[in-house]
Amino acid sequence: MTDDLVERCFASESMKNARLREAWDNRLRSEQHWRRADKLIEDSTRGLMKFLKSQPDSEATADRNGDLSDRDFANEKRSRELGENDEQSKSDENEP
- What pLDDT sits at residue 84? 65
Q: Which residues contact 44 (CB under 8 A, 6 or more apart)?
A: 10, 13, 17, 20
pLDDT for 52 equals 81
Residue ranges per domain, the chain? 3-54
Q: Please state, in angstroms and rounded to a whole number, the distance separating the CA atoms of residues 47 and 16.
A: 14
Q: pLDDT 10s per residue in the chain (96 long)?
A: 688 887 888 888 889 999 999 999 999 999 999 999 999 999 988 988 898 888 887 766 666 656 667 888 888 888 888 776 655 555 555 555
pLDDT value of residue 66: 62
Four-CA torsion 80, 85, 88, 93, nearest 10 degrees: -130
DSSP classification of residue 29: S
Query: Would the pTM of this model clear 0.85, i.e. be above it?
Result: no
**Amino acid residing at 11:** A
